[in-house]
A and B are shown apart, each in its own frame.
Chain A
Amino acid sequence: MTDLEKVQSLQQDERLLLLPLVRTTGTFWFWACSMAAVALWGGFAYVYQLRNGLGVTGLNTPEYWGIYIICFVFFIGISHAGTLISAILRVANAEWRRSITRSAEFITVLVIGFGAIQPILDLGRPDRVLNVFLHSQAFSPLLWDVLSIGLYFTASSIYLYVPMIPDLARIRDLGLRPRLLYSFLAIGYRDTPASRATLEKIIAVLAIMVIPIAISVHTVIGWIFALTLRPMWHSAIFGPYFVMGAIFSGIAALIIAMAILRRVYSLKSYFKDVHFENMGLLLLVMSVLWFYFTFAENLTVWYGGEEAELATLYSKLTGDFAISFWLMVACCFVIPFGLMCRRATRNIRGTVIASVAVVVGMWLERFNIVVPTSLHTHADVPGASYFPSWVELSIMAGTFAGFILVYMVATKFFPIISIWEIQEGRESSVEEVSTRVAGYLPDDEVETVVP
């Protein structure tokens, strides 16, 4: 019996969710090859940069940081999709999480590496990157960043892996190929009620631990900017602002991923309208928060009226960066808020459009943070400008393609929806939730006997 036949003889959940592991369509190969080609092109651009130095970028004095650092902040932001959202939903006992946590956690683990390499792509001397450990200077926010991203990567990998063990054990028992991989990853797990209880306890602890770690990561990235004396970087709002933006873009990325998975793997019965509606509500809340943070940031700068800060602010509001600034406002607030505040547009199509806008808008926000301040130094440097070169744009495209490719490949080896959690939901949580809700209600009045 082939793997495909084995899977096709299974019950509904297992059949539908394991099918992508054993059946690969031509469309998949087409997209995988296209993504691989773009990623290879990006790799070629990096080799070109390695041979010729950072002079092949559009960077200059004082635009020391550009596309790579923008992408660094952006991708690490996207990585907050998974772990943080899934952890919050788990901790909050949100029952609708069951079909979306796994795909979210995969985004985190796979994108974080692509984010973390960006500062290395940006180094003038990548050959000396180990100096960060050999000659660590503990006061540098960049060092804190290396540590917090390392910790986050470790924690979110564990947080992806542990809840996947029962599914891996099931795949091992079914004998799907590659057998060695699944029997190795399943680490001898047997799905008994006792081991299931232990597993859920571990997941509950992990979910709580991972939340502060995730928050620390983007806070520290915000501090990289905020701890310098640069106009509009040196701001106390940056830590929380970055965390909020990260969750915002993470939710949007997750909605896009869900919509694509739903379509290509026929998972309509798992990613239902209600999931998109709920995610849309989260997006709505975050877009309002985004507006609040952005307004607070810019009002503070404007009212303070410090000369260098104002010059930076006006370059965004009315100057060279007006297009990217107002496009950001449209993408991060006007479009998602307009679409998500109405029930009629909070459907799959509406949430996807809003999410694409948010992802674009959040990239623009990172651009609007990095570039205008770089060009507005305290010591006015005349004629400063920045336009990214083909090398930077190619590497950026390669990074996007590389992430999509590894995500596609991951869906071919691991069930992208947690099978055991869905089954658990069917078996026990309906009853659990009714008991829980009953527990919220006032107790029945005990009849007192009137003498």
Chain B
Amino acid sequence: MARWGMVIDLERCNGCQACEIACRSENNVPVGGPQAAQENRTISWMRVLAETHGEWPDVRTRFVPQPCMHCDRPPCTMVCPVGATSLEENGIVNQIYARCIGCRYCANACPYTVKYFNWKEPAYPESTKDGLNPDVSTRPVGVVEKCTFCSHRLQRAKEQARTEGRILREGDYTPACSESCPTGAIVFGDLDDPRHRVARLSRDPRAFRLQEGLGTQPKVYYLAEED
């Protein structure tokens, strides 16, 4: 069984946020607009954070794209009272929107703050309504949602491979953020398959994970910038 994971090269990321946009349109993420931004209620399954360290003249800023970390020991799944979020065998942490009761315990338990709550009925600009992705269900008000590593694409890739009578190859299944990244900073694949680039990159000396000390064992790795 594959163990899907991601490696994001911070040296390559230039903060263009193409991944955010690609994710938003791929996954029918509602558009909250300036009001949601002002209220701190923006939903963004992929979010490029600008981190600034130090003070002038010794300042460094880097861009850190943050999807769900799909932890191997996810703190969010343990606390859910109704089992609406769980770690699948393939390493993806899912979210069952139809079962979620909206208590937001998982959102509080997540140390990465990447679980988003639908405070309001999801809204889409009129012009994008025809372009909603039929493969991804829209979420109702009052439930938690988050990055799924575009798991609907995995279903499609598996079906494609099966009709062609072959096994899944690297590149068959790529989330929208990785696909859209112009600098190729986001690499996706099976962390357990040595033929996949992510397996090699995740062992790179530059590789690290966010909040590693918490023991959550995220499957999103970062490659530190070179000096």
Give me the interface of A with B, judged by CB distance under 8 Å.
52-55, 57, 59-65, 119, 122-126, 128-129, 131-132, 134-137, 139-143, 146, 224, 227-230, 374, 377-379, 381, 383-385
B65-104 interface bits toward A, Cβ cutoff 8 Å, 1 = contact, 0 = none: 0100000000100111111100000000000000111111
9 contacts across the A-B interface (CB closer than 8 A): A60-B40, A124-B117, A128-B100, A131-B82, A140-B105, A230-B109, A378-B211, A379-B111, A379-B113
A125-B143 contact, Cβ under 8 Å, with A228-B108, A379-B66: yes
* Alpha-carbon gap, A303 to B79, bound state (A): 29
Shortest distance in angstroms between B43's beta carbon and chain A's nearest beta carbon?
8
Cβ contact within 8 Å between A64 and B107: yes
Contact yes or no, A124 B82, CB < 8 A: no
* Given known A54-B119, A131-B99, contact A381–B113 (CB-CB < 8 A): yes
Q: Would B81 and A381 count as touching, CB distance under 8 A?
A: no
Assess whether A60 is in contact with B99, with CB atoms less than 8 Å apart: no
Given contacts A137-B81, A383-B40, contact A62 B113 (CB under 8 A): yes
**CA–CA, A270 to B83, complex, Å?**
52
Cβ of B216: which chain A residues have Cβ within 8 Å of it?
Answer: 229
Is A143's CB under 8 angstroms from B116's CB?
Answer: no
Task: Pick the contact of A229: B49, B111, B140, B142 (CB < 8 A).
Answer: B111
Please indicate the chain A residues that have their CB under 8 angstroms from the CB of B84 in the complex. Answer: 131, 135
Pick the contact of B141: A61, A124, A139, A378 (CB < 8 A): A124
Q: Which B residues, 116 to 144, have Cβ-Cβ distances below 8 Å to chain A?
A: 116-121, 140-144
Q: Judging by beta carbons under 8 Å apart, are B102 and A124 in contact?
A: yes
The CA of A131 and the CA of B101, in the complex, are separated in Å by 7
Which A residue sits closest to B78, measured CB to CB?
A139
Do the beta carbons of B141 and A137 come within 8 Å of each other? no
Contact A132 B111 (CB under 8 A): no
B39 within 8 A of A: yes
Within B44-82, the residues touching A (CB, 8 Å) are 49, 66, 75, 78-82
CB A54 to nearest CB in B, in angstroms, measures 5
- B102 touching A140, Cβ below 8 Å: no
B41 within 8 Å of A (CB atoms): yes
Q: Contact between B101 and A132 (Cβ–Cβ < 8 Å)?
A: yes
- Whether A142 contacts B108 by the Cβ 8 Å rule is no
**A135 contacts B83, CB within 8 Å?**
yes
**B86: nearest residue on chain A (CB-CB)?**
A137
Contact A64/B66 with A132-B81, A146-B81, A377-B111 known, Cβ cut-off 8 Å = no
Complex: how many Å from CA A301 to CA B66?
28
Most buried by B among A53, A125, A142, A224: A125
Indicate if the CB atoms of A65 and B119 lie closer than 8 Å.
no
**A142 touching B111, Cβ below 8 Å:** no
Summed over the interface, the residue pairs from A and B with CB atoms below 8 Å come to a total of 141
A128 to B119, Cβ gap below 8 A?
A: no
Task: Specify the chain B residue showing the minimal Cβ separation from A377.
Answer: B113
Residues of B within 8 A of A136 (CB): 81-83
Alpha-carbon separation in the docked complex, A136 to B119 (Å): 24
Residues of B within 8 A of A (CB): 39-42, 49, 66, 75, 78-84, 99-105, 107-109, 111-114, 116-121, 140-144, 210-211, 214, 216
Partner of B41, one of A55, A230, A377, A385: A55
Q: Apart from A57-B119, A60-B40, A124-B144, list 17 A-B contacts with CB within 8 A.
A: A53-B141, A55-B141, A60-B41, A62-B113, A124-B100, A128-B82, A128-B101, A131-B84, A131-B101, A135-B84, A142-B79, A142-B103, A146-B81, A227-B78, A230-B109, A377-B113, A384-B40
Bound complex: CA A125 to CA B121 (Å): 12
B39, B105, B107, B118: residue with the most chain A Cβ atoms closer than 10 Å: B105
Contacts of A60 in B (CB 8 A): 39-41, 119
Bound complex: CA A183 to CA B118 (Å): 51
Q: Closest Cβ of chain A: how far from B109's Cβ, in Å?
A: 4
Cα distance A374–B210 in the bound complex, in angstroms: 19
A71 and B160 alpha carbons, distance in the complex (Å): 53
A53, B117: Cα distance in complex, Å: 11
B101 contact set on A, CB distance < 8 A: 123-126, 128-129, 131-132
A140–B80 contact, CB under 8 A? Answer: yes
Contact A125 to B100, CB < 8 A, known contacts A140-B78, A228-B79: yes
Inter-chain CA distance A65–B111, complex, in Å, is 15
Q: A55-B41, A61-B116, A229-B75 are in contact. Are A142 and B105 (CB under 8 A)?
A: yes
CB distance from A200 to the nearest CB of B (A): 40
Closest CB-CB distance, A141 to chain B, in whole Å?
A: 6
Q: How far is the CA of A132 from the CA of B211 in the complex (A)?
A: 31
Contacts A131-B99, A378-B211 given; does A59 touch B119 at CB 8 Å = yes
Query: Min CB distance, A228 to chain B, in Å?
Result: 4
CB distance from A325 to the nearest CB of B (A): 21
- Smallest CB gap from A131: residue in B: B82
Name the residue of chain B whose CB is nearest to the CB of A227: B79
The answer to whether B111 touches A125 (Cβ under 8 A) is no
CA distance A230 to B140 in the complex (A): 28
In the assembled complex, the CB of B220 is this many whole angstroms from the nearest CB of chain A, namely: 12
Chain B residues with Cβ below 8 Å from A61 are: 40-42, 107, 113, 116-117
Query: Using Cβ atoms and an 8 Å threshold, which residues of chain A touch B104?
Result: 64-65, 122, 124
**Nearest chain B residue, comparing its CB with the CB of A370:** B108
In the complex, chain A residues whose CB is within 8 Å of the CB of B114: 379
Residues in B whose Cβ lies below 8 Å from that of A374: 108
Contact A53 B214 (CB under 8 A): no
Question: In the complex, what's the smallest C-beta–C-beta distance from B30 to chain A, in angstroms?
Answer: 12
Bound complex: CA A60 to CA B120 (Å): 11
| Closest-CB distance, B79 to chain A (whole angstroms) | 5
A374 to B144, alpha carbons, bound, how many Å?
A: 17
Given A60-B41, A61-B113, A228-B75: A125 in contact with B83 (beta carbons within 8 A):
no
Closest A residue to B118 by beta carbon equals A124
Pick from A52, A128, A374 the residue with the most CB of B within 10 Å. Answer: A128
